[in-house]
A and B are shown apart, each in its own frame.
Chain A
């Protein structure tokens, strides 16, 4: 079965520290991968897509096919980055699969 694994339920860092939210996927040709963010009391929203290679709010994510990973990184975390982060992939059948999410807490 195609899977998306986010191994950490909770990640806590101090403001200004680097942050890496891990995401691993089960191998399947050329996956399409995304990161979504949900701030407290707000709706889920798209953060970035691997195909666009963009940097949003200082976050970047590189697709590593060798390690089947799509980790989300930011060099200097801010308090406003505290949120739930979901990794998501589009499967070979076109289906959409979410990871279980990682709660990022950035402490002052």
Chain B
């Protein structure tokens, strides 16, 4: 199956700094990428949907200025957590899809564990 790679898998940062997480589709062109957040013992929460070359669409309640998403190419999307705070500590997962119905067939990255101290 298709491979989606996230980097880094774990990151620890100081409060107030910014952290960038990369999501790459390794063997296919992803027209749409999705970013999720997962709290301990809870389900994945969709944060935003990004289409290559256009602005991301954020879910209600997700601060677009705090979680900056860039989808500059068909194989790379980045999520930048700006001015991180301890409450931003979470597991972030991306997925990538292609075709006429984005999201109906999606391949997931391995996730990034962010810890803000």
CB distance from B80 to the nearest CB of A (A): 22
CB-defined contacts of A45 to chain B, threshold 8 Å: 1, 107-108
Contacts of A49 in B (CB 8 A): 104
Instruction: Check B105–A94 contact: CB distance below 8 A.
Output: no
* Contacts A46-B105, A46-B106, A90-B104 given; does A98 touch B43 at CB 8 Å: yes
Q: A44-B93, A86-B43 are in contact. Are A96 and B108 (CB under 8 A)?
A: no
Number of interface residues of B (CB under 8 A): 21
Which A residues touch B105, using CB under 8 A?
A: 46
Report A82 CB to chain B, min CB distance, Å: 17
Interface presence of A100 (CB below 8 A): yes
Nearest chain B CB to A70 CB, angstrom units = 15
Contact partners of B42 in chain A: CB under 8 A: 100
**Most A-side CB within 10 Å, residue of B44, B95, B106:** B44
- B59 proximal to A (CB < 8 A): yes
Assign chain A's interface to a size class: 10 to 19
Which residues of B are found within 8 Å of A100, using beta-carbon distances? 42-43
CA distance A81 to B7 in the complex (A): 28
Q: 1/0 per residue B34-48: CB within 8 Å of A? A: 100000011111100
Do residues A94 and B1 form an inter-chain contact, with CB atoms below 8 A?
Answer: no
How far is it, in angstroms, between the C-alpha of A97 and the C-alpha of B43 when the chains are bound? 9
| Chain B contacts to A: CB under 8 angstroms | 1, 4, 34, 41-46, 59, 93, 95, 103-111
**Closest 6 A/B residue pairs (Cβ):** A100-B43, A44-B108, A98-B43, A43-B110, A98-B44, A43-B108
Binding site for B on A (CB under 8 A): 9, 32, 34, 42-46, 49, 86, 90, 94-101
